[in-house]
Amino acid sequence: MTNFAELASAPCDPVVPVTDQLRLAVAAYLARFKGSSRYHTDSDLRCYLSWCSERRLDPLAARRPHLELYIRWMQEIRRYKPSTVSRRGLRRSRVLPDLRH
């Protein structure tokens, strides 16, 4: 089983954890949503970005193993309900390709 320490972490500037590129990508992604969908998507993104920041992981460089660890963290550490884990985990897998372009 792979743990976070075994993964080659993606470079991240610890002084400036949120880059302009990331800020613009998040804003563009959130612009697709309205009302409660936007509110929940924003909440999900903030949770994911905080998780990345705590681990000094560049969210734009995250790969599948990072997402699997994020999902496991939601399940085992945060103890989110399965529906929440599914929504947040599924959104991350859809968001990351969009944020990289």
**Distance between CA 15 and CA 7 in Å, rounded?**
22
The pTM of the full predicted model, rounded to 2 decimals, is 0.68
- Determine the Cα–Cα distance for residues 78 and 96; give it in Å rounded to an integer: 22
53 — pLDDT class (breaks 50, 70, 90): very high
Per-residue pLDDT tens digits for 16-43: 346 788 888 888 889 999 999 899 889 8
Q: Which of 88, 9, 79, 97 is nearest to 49 (CA)?
A: 88
* Cα 70–chain centre separation: 8
Distance CA 53, CA 47 (A): 10
The residues near 47 (Cβ < 8 Å, ≥ 6 apart) are: 88
